[in-house]
Amino acid sequence: MLPHEFDTATSALAANGWCVIPDLMTSTQTQALANECMAMHAEHLLTPAATGIDRAITILRGDSTRWFLSGALSAPQQAFADRVDELRIALSRHLMLGLVDSESQYAVYPAGAGYARHLDQLRRSDARVVSAVFYLNADWQDVEGGALRLYLADASHRDIYPRAGTLVLFLSAQFEHEVLPATRQRMSIACWMRQRVIPAIH
């Protein structure tokens, strides 16, 4: 088989259940996504993850989010969706995962906000198989905090800092993770690659 752009990522995901891809998008494309996310946030188009009767959830997570609307993607979003599709198809083929589609959302954490330790796949039947988080923060310094802390099976953890252009992938059902608070606003695209879920027969 010819070598493929995502071979390294595919092997790492197969071996460890998680990996980092540093060059999914060009810096111009990443900058365009960051600009759009910032503009949408300024226009109050992102919704706090904690609203209404779920206010208690503020303790859990402090971000605001906005889904990418399939069929109505902006040019920067379309460029991202195209790359995620290429990656999804490569992972699906090489790891035999049956990833049929993906869903993406912008997420903005104000300074001081985080997301407590959690699992992205809540039930065995969940469609989410691979979690992917793409970061949009130019000139991020480690001292600013905001790491994604990924808890590994051996009880150790890895901290991944949300530097613009970094994509982290991990298996949704296996890795608990949390977002540590930062001293500045933190922007990302959270994306889930999904399998087809066969509805239970009642």
Q: Which residues bind Mn ion (CB under 5 A)?
A: 120
Residue 177 lies near ligand OGA (rule: CB under 6 A): yes
Q: Which is nearer to Mn ion, 29 or 65 (CB)?
A: 65
Q: With 0-12 CB in 10 A as exposed, 13-18 as middle and 19+ as buried, what is 78?
A: exposed
Q: Does 108 bind ligand OGA (CB under 6 A)?
A: no
Residues touching ligand OGA, count (CB under 6 A): 9
What single DSSP character describes residue 20? E
User: For Mn ion, which is the closer residue by CB, 63 or 120?
Assistant: 120
What is the closest distance, in whole angstroms, from the C-beta atom of residue 3 to Mn ion in the complex? Answer: 31
DSSP class per residue in 21-81? ES-SS-HHHHHHHHHHHHHHHHTT-SEESS-GGGGGGGGTB--EEEE--TTS--HHHHHHH
One of 64, 102, 166, 188 touching ligand OGA (CB under 6 A) = 188
87 sits near ligand OGA (criterion: CB under 6 A)? no
Say which residues have a Cβ less than 8 Å from residue 199's Cβ, sequence separation at least 6. Answer: none
Residues at the site binding ligand OGA, with contacts judged by CB under 6 A = 107, 115, 120, 133, 148, 177, 179, 188, 190
